Structure 1
Amino acid sequence: MGELTTKVGSGSTPKGGNAVYTSVGHCFVRSQNVGMGYLILDDIAHIDDDIHQKHKATELSEDDVLLNITGASIGRTAIATKEIEGGNVNQHVCIIRANSKVSPKFLCNYIQTKKIQNYIRSLQTGGSREGLNFDQIRSFPISLPSIAEQNKIAQLLDKLNERIATQNKIIEDLKKLKSAIIEIEYTPNTKTTSHIGDVIEQISKRNKNNAIK
């Protein structure tokens, strides 16, 4: 993969850790923000411009491939979107910037294949903490079709990734709804004007509307 990239590198956590994160500013991507094929931005942290300038070497560009390189989420990868462009990553997330020979989205999806995921596992030596170094990432074996074919494959998989992300969000919403119903229906002396039958009907309609066709 080293022959297909212009950058392979990760960032670092700003001095002060969580205490320096802000509610606005430059997005700061951590491993929990990188899913398998999609970003998870519900709890995205931010840093101010002063800290961003100190970490300028890890500034994100749209279509950078992000790869988790440590811990239990090692191997998870996603594409940097316009939403996080100009942000930064910490030391647990690697930025892989593709050159003109490969589509970034194709590369991101290729890393998700069993071939590369198994290769990542093979590089782990059984130490106390899993981790990938940059030379190992550059050694990933990649087979390339033409750019036109790469783009077709990437477009198809993008649509599936979008659907997966949507379904995951629906599942999380339903879990929260279930917890709320349990609290209401199983708490003694709770007064409510809602009817469980109405709730079931609403859930059924939602499931039907979101069914995969």
Structure 2
Amino acid sequence: NKKSWKKRLLNDLVDKIGSGATPKGGKESYQDHGISFIRSMNVHDGYFNYKDLAYINSTQAKQLSNVIVQSQDVFINITGASVARSCIVPDDILPARVNQHVSIIRCKSDVLNPIFINNLFLNDSFKRILLSIGLSGGATRQAITKKQLEMLKIILPPISLQNEFANFVHQVDKSKFENIVYLNKTLLNKILSQIGDVIRD
């Protein structure tokens, strides 16, 4: 914090911190389609893993109405070996709910940018803080409580700088995607060209 920015409790900067529950019946109650049900296996550092994404029906979702996921929510894993992993919700999984191993953090948009806070969670030094909190209970199972999340001290640059940082991250991600598309297209063209040479021979 070389700029000596103020530090605020996370609880003062968000509209929501909360986790859900697993519907009765556990895995056996999951559906082939319906409302997305987010589990810790889906939340990875900086990205959402769609593999094994579960679904629940509207009745099950109604029982989890306190953890309705909204666009720009930040997910953070709060129990188990994947504790402290975090990412931002992708809009294409909405509507969605979360289970008890994942917490929703919903930022107050006038003071905290979700891309900024997610990248803060991913920062090596802050990640160590989160992991140490997860181990602080001395239990065999790592866990971060809602109260511990609320009491996290967050470095708070002006929202204008946070938004500027978020725009930069967005442009970098966009550039990465475009480069991947370009490289894949180049590779495909090379393969097709080689196939053409073989056919002509």
- Same fold, judged at TM 0.5 (above): yes
**Could you tell me whether the CA contact under 8 Å between 1:116 and 1:140 is conserved in 2?**
no
1:88-136 Cα offsets, whole Å, 9 max, x none, are 0000000011113111111111111123211112222232100000111
Structure 1 residue ranges without an equivalent (≥5): 168-200, 206-213
Corresponding residue of 1:117: 127
What SS does structure 1 have at the residue aligned with 2:47? coil
- 2-side partners of 1:44 and 1:19: how far apart? 14
Residue matched to 2:143: 131
How far did residue 158 of structure 1 move?
3.9
Q: Which residue of 1 aligns with 2:40?
A: 31
Provide the rounded CA distance (Å) in 2 between the counterparts of 1:82 and 1:91: 21
1:157-168 equivalences in 2 (<5 Å): 157-160=169-172
Corresponding residue of 1:81: 90
- In structure 2, relative to structure 1, the CA distance for the partners of 1:136 and 1:145 (3 Å cut) is same
Query: How far off its partner does 1:7 sit?
Result: 0.8
Distance 1:163 1:78, change over 3 A: farther
Q: 1:68 maps to what in 2? A: 77
Q: Structure 2: how far apart are the matches of 1:88 and 1:157?
A: 26
- Aligned twin of 1:94: 103
Preserved contact between residue 33 and residue 41 of structure 1 (Cα < 8 Å): yes
Which position in structure 2 is the counterpart of 1:178?
none
Higher relative contact order (CA 8 A, sep 6+): 2
Task: Compute the TM-score of the two structures, normalised by the length of structure 1.
Answer: 0.73
Q: Match for 2:18: what amino acid?
A: G
- In structure 2, give the amino acid aligned to 1:105: I
Q: Hey, which of these two has a bigger chunk of strand by percent? A: 2
Whole-Å separation in 2 of the counterparts to 1:80 and 1:73: 17
CA contact (8 A) 1:103 1:150 kept: yes
- List runs of 5+ in structure 2 lacking aligned partners: 1-9, 180-189, 195-201
Q: How many residues align?
A: 173
Q: Distance in 2 between matches of 1:68 and 1:165?
A: 26
Given candidates 163, 167, 171, the residue that maps to 1:155 is: 167
- Seen in structure 2, the aligned counterparts of structure 1 residues 23 and 166 have a Cα distance that, compared at 3 Å, is farther
> What is the CA-CA distance between 1:87 and the residue it aligns to?
0.7
Equivalence for 1:191:
none
Residues 152 and 70 (structure 1), Cα distance of their counterparts in 2 relative to 1, 3 Å cut: same
SS at match of 1:142: strand
